[in-house]
Structure 1
């Protein structure tokens, strides 16, 4: 007896191949198109068809009354059936998404996997856990350039969840740093303006200091803080340029030097990035005391 050749396909192939999904769809508009087809066919019961946004009820109606289109051309019947297929697929995708969220809410409320097993139509807590993870894959994407949907395996979902948790933590740290900088920016900018008369200035420096002076009393919203940040950066660039041209410190007093150093440190806390290369400018030249 001839030995059957082993299939070359990997058993994991269905899990690795990115799934094709309906994704975003104006379901109400598609239901309205189905309604129009039934009205054109003079369906006598079309008035009882649920509203366009009642997707499940509308689909049950057009399924039950499909015979109302029997006298329509074949292409019309085919188009109606294809729209039904599309809407059922869309509804299935949405069902998975909302079921996954319901599982999350149940877990947050203290439900154990053994309690979720019958609700998820599985026979064991481990099966409930695995099914919940597969459902979660519906709303996750991987790290590929095209951001494909995560494979429907518990391992892939756990990896994606860890990555998202790390991204959220990094975003939270960035927001906290931005809030810290914003809290410091007004006093730092105010201190720099107080030392204006003790700084060497040219037209560019004066222009940006005047912009800071204009916006400073109104810095309350995030957008206003962004404007202040830009003006402060521009003023420091102009002062740095002037210092290089004059080959002497632009700070004429120790207090001016300290105000300038504080502004630079706020704009460039690492000392080696942005517009001010390490070591910090203004720091190597001694202030000139009148």
Structure 2
């Protein structure tokens, strides 16, 4: 009986499991530990070993002189450390090569120019390989930040999601800026006509908070505080109106200032 054909995963579908990665690693410290193993083994070539910060050169030297380690335990320890460092280099290579491709494209390079550098034969292959490299620097926002599947389709989808999120963030920032542009003059009018606002202590307290923050209201935190204080003034004045059954203002100017505050905090 023929086995049913196995369905391939959709090219945009995220990986089921989050891949294990080396991540952040103090490579100089690891190379330093390997250098010490060779010094302890009285390796005559250790003096020619590149500096701890020269990871690639140091790894090549350690590979060439692995036999200088006398004990099996030391050889095993050193070899495992080298495997880890090469894996770290592999991860970093994807990240930095993707950035290099991005810089080349920004400088006007065509995919035809990049094909030989990416060790492929056609512009389309260069494009596809570059997209796979980009998977190393992108995460899937819809899947708990998991790495993106290494297909051009998955990378394009992740880029679309990132662009949509950036656009939404810009819209939110623009809306916040619009609201705060309206808020400042409203807060100023409340202060100018505070004598006509109901003074039950709570209103006075929140107006004093507005007066304290308004002259230097520039940062996002200060703007949030200013809105909180204006909302508190409106809340307390409405509470007074419900309790007394009469308007919480005594002048028409104060009434206009109050109405503007209500509009800006509920709009």
Q: Which runs of 5+ in 1 are unaligned?
A: 270-290
Residue 245 of structure 2 is matched in structure 1 by: 247
Q: 1:205 to 1:41 in 2, by over 3 A?
A: farther
Normalized against structure 1, the TM-score is what? 0.81
> How many residues align structurally?
264
Stretch of structure 1 that moved more, 78-87 or 173-182: 173-182
Judged with a 3 Å threshold, the aligned counterparts in structure 2 of structure 1 residues 258 and 32 are, in CA distance, closer, same or farther, namely farther
Tell which deviates more after alignment, 104-113 or 46-55. Answer: 46-55
Rounded Cα–Cα distance in structure 2 between residues aligned with 1:54 and 1:17: 36
User: Which structure would you say has the larger RCO, counting Cα contacts within 8 Å and 6 or more residues apart?
Assistant: 2
Write out aligned runs for 1:117-128 (5 A).
Answer: 117-128=115-126
RMSD across aligned positions (CA): 2.4
Unaligned runs of 5+ in 2: none
Match of 1:201 among 196, 199, 202: 199
Equivalent residue for 2:232, pick from 231, 234, 237: 234
> By how many angstroms is 1:9 displaced?
4.7
1:201·1:242 contact (CA, 8 Å) conserved in 2? no
Q: Which of 139, 163, 166 pairs up with 1:165?
A: 163
Give the TM-score of the pair, scaled to structure 2.
0.87
> Structure 1 residues 136 and 203, CA, compared in 2 at 3 Å: closer, same or farther?
same
Tell me, in whole angstroms, the C-alpha distance in 2 between the residues paired with 1:76 and 1:244. 82
SS in structure 1 at match of 2:93: helix
Question: 1:126-162: CA deviations, max 9, x gaps?
Answer: 1111111111111111134532111111111111100
Q: Is 1:60 aligned with 2:60? A: yes
1:28-107 map, 5 Å: 28-69=28-69, 71-72=70-71, 74-107=72-105
- Deviation of 1:87 after TM superposition, in Å, equals 1.1
